[in-house]
Amino acid sequence: MKINRHIENAYKVLEGVALSEEEALNLATEVHGCDILDLISLANKVRDKFAPPLEACSIINAKSGVCSQRCRFCAQAGSYSTGIETYPLLTREEILSGAREIYNSGIRTYGIVTSGKGYSDTDPEFHELLDTMDFLHNELPDLKICVSLGILNEAAARLLSEHHVWRYNMNLQTNPERYGELITTAHSVEDKIKTIKYLQKYGITICCGGIIGLGESWLDRVRLAEAIRDLDVDGIPVNVLIPIKGTPLENLPVMEPADVAKSFAIFRLLNPGKMIKFTAGRETQLKDFQALLMLSGASSMMTGGYLTTRGRTIEEDKTFIDRLNSFGCKSR
């Protein structure tokens, strides 16, 4: 049986040749049914050749809810009635307790996430966070600290570098051209890109990804993957929308697993050497198909739960990673 011609053309990625936007869009719109398995196979080969070994990370929701930014997908927006637990910034001891738990399970990458628009270098709460980072470094010296604190000014980015933050998460979420329509108008995607460039200037590595299943088109997904590629970030977290009751997107249908697999494969083919992380939606939305999705180009996963939704246990995911290795996936 002959391979789909668009997939056959995409094999050039294995030789280091980049796909054009048109070629990536053809994979999205002209590959269907059992041909998707061929596309997944190619993405897995590209991942094994170019991407870092498969790894896991964990996060803590260090400040929850009452956010002013009104992102359409988010349970933490203060203007939505989603029923989540809300609380102010956790103490450094509480954040350390979460770090010790994942550290003792063998995870060495820990993300601190706060709700809200972001921080400037003059915010007292921001300096509390800097103190917490110093505390964690002292208690767990080999723990890699990631943070997701929203939009920053340049001075705040510099201070994070001085306090030895390893990685910063700042998601574009969707096609930048449609950010205001699909995500929020409370801030701009340009604010996010500016923050990323400040952080890169001071040597902090970047995770920058998005959400699929927001009601976007295939072109939007391709353009998100291209925008991330152009920023030359280090990791790409891809979330599958979990429609949360009380948000404007509560009634959107869950994405079909085949479309999720195709999306991950296209992200991999457009970003061959990057860490692509399967985050929200892996367990709750994909259920029996999550192993298939991890073989569609992903090279990392978030374990132990998300901000306001549950995940699998770290031990379950460690076993999952071991079993994925039988398909040739590299692991660290």
Domains and CATH numbers, the chain: 5-324 (3.20.20.70)
Query: How far, in Å, are 80, 158, 220 from residue 211 at the CA level?
Result: 19, 28, 11
Residue 328's pLDDT is 60
Q: Which residue is it, tokens 């990673």?
A: 321
Query: Residue 326 is which amino acid?
Result: S
Tokens representing 20 are 């054009």
Tokens representing 229 are 């590629």
Q: At what angle do helices 124-139 and 154-162 cross, to 10 degrees?
A: 20
Query: Residue 238 is which amino acid?
Result: V
Q: Which residue is it, tokens 């349970």?
A: 75
Residue 280's pLDDT is 77
Q: Which helix (H) or strand (E) holds 223?
A: helix 218-231
User: pTM for the full model?
Assistant: 0.92
Tokens representing 184 are 């929020």
Tokens representing 223 are 């353009």
CA gap 279, 293 in Å, rounded = 11
Which residues partner with 148 through β-bridges?
113
Q: Could you tell me the mean pLDDT of each successive run of 10 residues in the chain, 332 residues long? A: 94 98 98 96 95 88 94 93 93 97 93 97 97 98 97 98 98 98 97 98 98 97 98 96 95 93 97 92 73 84 60 68 62 50
CB 286 within 8 A of CB 257: yes
Residue 329's pLDDT is 54
